[in-house]
């Protein structure tokens, strides 16, 4: 594989050369701990407003406003993954100039996108919430939370793209350190604004935005101060045509794939809203607990993308296959352990968010359906991450659309009216996971037979 521009002394790369299972776990744990602290400061909002403001505020933090914010962030992170895949492949092949172009184009896209979304989101927040049939007793708090979120979206985008870039080159530790700092900062500000200044849900939202601003600044400084080939220069932030095309080629399908998950969740949330505030509050509390499972699974998915991207860029196709196989086994073990934990400790965990017995009872019913099916999603997350690492995102997006978005939407529109219960709504998740997992298993087994014969790799 010919290199366009190579550094005079390339540092040893453990991802392309080390013992796979050991390097995978070394890379995974900082990502997992980072997402743990990220989820912890999100959960702190829910716990503090739920305990000290009320269940209506708890429902507002985790209900419609949360689904809308997840939709926006998910799409951006998906599009940004185009940059991280390209950077991982270029870094594995030690191509400096195209890597630099991808880096600075990603940052330009981040800034431009945040400006557009801030303006639209702030103005249209009440409209979005009405579309989702948000209960009237939640509407004002939800609008307040969502508008403050949109005002700080630039910091969210910068942190997400910057931390993804660091992870794509094998650095999963610094994003962890920054999140630890910002987690405790957010909790402190939550307590200050909500308990001392009595700012309610606005205080929790402002605390989160300020914390995210600090994390964004730390990420930018890390990229500017590195001596490696992925150094950020503020004056070079602009759109490079070829890099933008490559980013969008991979990123748009990945972004749409994320949107499909979010759209199906919004449809689910709309159905849940019709069941009342107690159900929405229970779903919110469960969602905060459930997010700790997703942080582990997504960390393994990021690890799979990085390992596959760098090794694919370096032309080490056998190592690509071994990395994915090992990652599947480890992630399955983690999923089973977490399922057992949630089923055992679920009732106690719900008490962290609320003492309302009706909310807790509904939450237990949700947990009983969801937790046993966690292992099914492992195949979707790891194979999707691996395919993204080689630049294959079109087919995975289509499979996700059919297996998750369309299926869940039909489920809600056809089955829920016949049986409008929380059990009917919740069951749509494990069934859709099972269908989509089968599709990904079949596609990956066919795809890996052709490694080295296709042209998906940007580094090829």
For the chain, domain boundaries: 18-450
Give the pTM: 0.68
Q: Is 420 in a helix, a strand, or coil? A: coil
Nearest to 10 by CA among 87, 94, 73: 94
In tens digits, the chain (460 residues) has pLDDT values of 333 334 434 455 667 677 787 878 777 777 777 777 776 766 777 778 777 777 667 766 666 677 777 778 778 777 777 788 888 888 877 888 889 999 999 999 989 989 999 999 899 888 888 887 777 777 888 888 889 989 999 998 898 888 888 888 878 788 888 888 888 898 899 889 988 888 888 888 898 899 989 999 999 999 999 888 889 999 999 999 988 888 888 888 878 777 777 777 778 878 888 888 888 888 888 887 888 888 888 888 888 888 888 888 778 888 888 889 999 999 999 999 999 999 998 888 888 887 888 888 988 999 999 999 999 999 999 999 899 888 888 888 888 888 888 888 899 889 988 988 888 998 999 999 999 999 999 999 988 877 655 444 443 3
Spatial neighbors of 93 by CB under 8 A, at least 6 apart, are 1, 3, 313, 314, 459
Contacts made by residues 329-332, CB under 8 angstroms, sequence distance 24+: 330/21, 330/24, 330/25, 330/300, 331/296, 331/297, 331/300, 331/378, 331/381, 331/382, 332/375, 332/378
Cβ proximity of 201 and 146 under 8 Å: no
Q: In whole angstroms, give the CA distance from residue 395 to residue 403.
A: 12
Q: Residue 2: CA atoms inside 13 Å, Cβ hemisphere, count?
A: 1
Structure tokens given for 275: 């069941």
What is residue 14's predicted lDDT score, i.e. its pLDDT? 65
What is residue 452's predicted lDDT score, i.e. its pLDDT? 56
What is residue 458's predicted lDDT score, i.e. its pLDDT? 43
What is residue 459's predicted lDDT score, i.e. its pLDDT? 39
Q: In whole angstroms, give the CA distance from residue 394 to residue 432.
A: 19
Cβ proximity of 382 and 327 under 8 Å: yes
Q: In whole angstroms, give the CA distance from residue 325 to residue 382.
A: 9
Q: In whole angstroms, give the CA distance from residue 248 to residue 168.
A: 17
Cβ proximity of 458 and 312 under 8 Å: no
Burial of 413 (0-12, 13-18, 19+ CB in 10 A): exposed
The dihedral sign for the CA sequence 50, 56, 59, 60: negative
What is residue 63's predicted lDDT score, i.e. its pLDDT? 65
Nearest to 129 by CA among 117, 153, 111, 145: 145
Q: How far is CA 434 from the centre of its chain?
A: 20
Cβ proximity of 268 and 408 under 8 Å: yes
DSSP assignment, residue 235? G
Burial of 372 (0-12, 13-18, 19+ CB in 10 A): middle
Q: In whole angstroms, give the CA distance from residue 248 to residue 45.
A: 34
């Amino acid at each position: 594989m010919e290199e366009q521009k190579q550094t005079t002394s390339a540092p040893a790369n453990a991802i392309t050369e080390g013992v796979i299972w050991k390097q995978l776990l070394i890379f995974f744990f900082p990502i997992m701990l980072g997402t743990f602290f990220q989820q912890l400061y999100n959960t702190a909002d829910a716990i503090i407003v739920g305990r000290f403001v009320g269940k209506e505020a708890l429902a507002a933090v985790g209900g419609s406003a949360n689904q809308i914010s997840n939709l926006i962030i998910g799409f951006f992170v998906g599009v940004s993954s185009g940059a991280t895949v390209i950077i991982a492949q270029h870094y594995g092949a030690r191509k400096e100039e195209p890597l630099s172009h991808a880096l600075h184009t990603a940052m330009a896209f981040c800034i431009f996108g945040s400006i557009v979304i801030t303006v639209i989101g702030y103005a249209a927040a009440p409209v979005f919430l009405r579309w989702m049939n948000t209960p009237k007793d939640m509407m004002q708090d939800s609008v307040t939370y969502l508008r403050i979120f949109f005002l700080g979206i630039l910091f969210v985008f910068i942190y997400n793209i910057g931390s993804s870039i660091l992870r794509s080159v094998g650095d999963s530790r610094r994003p962890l350190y920054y999140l630890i700092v910002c987690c405790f900062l957010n909790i402190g500000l939550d307590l200050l604004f909500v308990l001392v200044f009595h700012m309610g849900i606005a205080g929790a939202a402002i605390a989160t935005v300020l914390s995210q601003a600090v994390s964004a600044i730390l990420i930018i400084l890390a990229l500017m101060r590195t001596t490696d080939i992925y150094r950020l220069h503020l004056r070079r932030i602009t759109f490079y045509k070829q890099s933008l095309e490559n980013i969008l080629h991979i990123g748009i399908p990945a972004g749409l794939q994320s949107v499909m998950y979010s759209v199906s969740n919004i449809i689910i949330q709309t159905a849940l809203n019709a069941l009342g505030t107690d159900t929405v509050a229970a779903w919110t509390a469960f969602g905060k607990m459930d997010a700790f499972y997703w942080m582990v699974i997504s960390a393994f998915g990021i690890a799979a993308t990085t390992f596959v991207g760098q090794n694919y860029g370096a032309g080490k196709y056998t190592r690509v296959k071994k990395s994915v196989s090992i990652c599947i086994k480890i992630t399955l073990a983690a999923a089973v352990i977490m399922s057992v934990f949630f089923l055992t400790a679920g009732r106690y965990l719900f008490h962290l968010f609320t003492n309302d017995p009706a909310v807790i009872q509904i939450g237990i019913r949700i947990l009983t359906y969801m937790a046993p099916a966690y292992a099914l999603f492992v195949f979707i997350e790891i194979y999707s991450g691996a395919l993204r690492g080689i630049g294959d995102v079109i087919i995975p997006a289509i499979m996700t659309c059919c297996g998750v978005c369309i299926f869940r939407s039909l489920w809600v529109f056809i089955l829920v009216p016949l049986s409008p219960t929380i059990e009917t709504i919740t069951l749509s998740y494990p069934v859709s996971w099972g269908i989509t997992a089968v599709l990904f298993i079949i596609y990956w087994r066919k795809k890996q037979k052709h490694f080295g014969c296709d042209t998906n790799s940007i580094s090829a």
